Structures are given as C-alpha cells and as structure tokens.
Amino acid sequence: MTEFGFIDTLRTLCADLPDNGFEGIGDDCAVLPVGEGRSLVFTADLLVEGVHFLRAATSPEELGAKALAVNLSDVAAMGARPVATLLSLALPADATDEWAVRFSEGYHALSQRFGVALIGGDTTRSDGGITINVTAIGCADSAHLKRRSAARPGDILLVAGRLGASGAGLQDLLDSRYDTPAAAVHRNPLPQVEEGEWLGRRPEVHALMDLSDGLASDVRHIMAQSHVGAAIDLECIPVADGADLRLAACGGEDYKLLLSADPRCAKSLADDFLLRFGTPLYPIGTIESSDRLRWLQNGCEVLLDWKGFTHY
C-alpha cells in the first residue's frame, strides 16, 4: 500500500469520528480555533533512515535541523507562526552518545533561530535504523490562515524561491558526491517561516502550501482541494543553480512556498515581498477553471507526464 493509499484508508475509516472542533485532514496542517479570533495548527512528519536520509550522507546536526525544518515549513504553509514541537526519536545502539548530542544541537539551533519551544516527545531504542517524528504546533489569527482550497480561476500562481536545488543535491548524494553545493542545500532545507507568516497576513494571497514533493505533484493538491486547474509556463519556473527545468518541476524537498494570488494584486504583492525579503516571488502560471494541469511553452501547451518526487 502506498503512503496515499494508507492515508485514504484511514481517512475513510475515520470519517465517522467526531471532529471536536478541528478542521479535518487535507491541508498542510489541521486547524483548531481557540477563541478570540485565534487558531492553532498541527502537523507531523516522520523521517526514516534509508528512506528519507542516509546516515553516511548527513551530519547529526543537519539531520536534527532538517527533522524540524520540514515541520516548520508545513506550519508556514498555513500562514501561521510555529510556536512549539514534540520530538520523538528511536535510536539504534550504533548511534553514539555523541551522535545524539550533535543531533540535539542541530534541532536546538533551528528552534532557537525561529523561537520555537520544545514541549515534549519520546525517546526509545530501535532495533533497526533511526526514526524521527516531529509534531509541530503553530498559531495565527484565524483570518490569516491560508488553505489549499482557496485558489480561484484567474489567480496568479507564484513560487517564493528558485526550485530544483534539493533534487539536484539528492542526485549528488545518491552518486556519493556529498560535498557539492546542491547536496548541502538538500541536507539543510530552510523553511520559509517568516515568509509564510507574512503571506498569511496578505488578503490577496488565496491558496498557500509548501513544495515538499515537487511542483508537478504539489500543485495538484491545490487543484484538487480548490476544484480548479492550472497552467504553468515552463519558461517562468525559476531554476536554481545546479538544477535543470525538470528537477525544478519534479524534484522534491525544496520547501519553497507556492501560492495563488488575486491577479489584480499579484504585482504589488511581489514588489512588497521583494522589499521585505530581498528575494522575488516568481509568477509561474495561472489558475484555470478546469481540472487539468497544463504545461505551456511560449503560450502553447506541451504534453508532459511530469510527476513529483516520491519516496516509493
């Protein structure tokens, strides 16, 4: 059973459970309104040795930071500010005390950078490899929360950074080239925490999510949740140094924010973003009233079977 197959099974089975005030599965985070116009958001990510990382190809500090980063990115993708995490860690006997301390230091450093509390978790022995689960909690004004379901036909699609560096880095790592700039990007994802919170406050931003499985895959979540289609201009996709167009569209783990915005305000939004963060918001296409993803080259559709990155 694939990851999505199992999630569908669980979702179907659990549809009859009470929601207890939480908004259901389907976005980067679950949402709980807590009164006074505020909401909390919740997300969890699991990192498994041999599937998500190779111990020989990443330092313990990098792994500690990455386990946190991917969760902070999910919180940012809601327009929320991360406030706390719970860290669960299964450690085999061959992970030394020094490894555990250095892992903790990486986790701590990124927590400190973004002002996130560590409020709990669990630690245990493992008979297999290292497994890490992080649950992150964020908060936001309820009116500022952004959802995948909010895209509207005519919206401009924008991405908050260049794409493909992480995918190129993964290829380097799999080829045992550990010291390339792209490999360093892959091992050290930086979540767009401040960018997410800033975009959350902008009403002209409609749908928002983070790119973890690749643009070609992730944009389909916005399409499905918003019941819309999309057209992406291949020549507008911002390709990171060391990557190519296909990696930029299909590579995973870039952790850049993808958003749809009111077409009347997209230009001023990007101008303000550049002023605030010193980097552009790149317009890459438009939301359409269909259920299709169209790739355009010089305005003409090209047929591509591009899919996102998958661990399976």
With contacts defined by CB under 8 A, name the span among 98-106, 166-174, 198-206, 244-252 that binds its own copies: 98-106
Q: Considering the rule CB under 8 A, would residue 118 count as an interface residue with its own copies?
A: yes
24-63: contacts with its own copies (CB under 8 A): 24-25, 29-30, 32, 34-36, 38, 40, 42-46, 48-52
With contacts defined by CB under 8 A, name the span among 3-11, 142-150, 162-170, 240-248 that binds its own copies: 3-11
Candidates 57, 87, 163, 183; binder of its own copies (CB under 8 A) is 87
Q: Considering the rule CB under 8 A, would residue 302 count as an interface residue with its own copies?
A: no
- Tell which residue, 202, 208, 198, has the closest CA to residue 264: 202
Q: How far is the CB of 142 from its own copies (least distance, A)?
A: 13
Q: Considering the rule CB under 8 A, would residue 174 count as an interface residue with its own copies?
A: no
Candidates 77, 137, 168, 222; binder of its own copies (CB under 8 A) is 137
Nearer of residues 122 and 244 to its own copies, judged by Cβ: 122
Q: Considering the rule CB under 8 A, would residue 143 count as an interface residue with its own copies?
A: no
Nearer of residues 91 and 199 to its own copies, judged by Cβ: 91
Q: How far is the CB of 40 from its own copies (least distance, A)?
A: 7
Q: Considering the rule CB under 8 A, would residue 105 count as an interface residue with its own copies?
A: yes
Candidates 55, 59, 129, 152; binder of its own copies (CB under 8 A) is 129
Candidates 58, 73, 133, 217; binder of its own copies (CB under 8 A) is 133
Q: How far is the CB of 179 from its own copies (least distance, A)?
A: 25
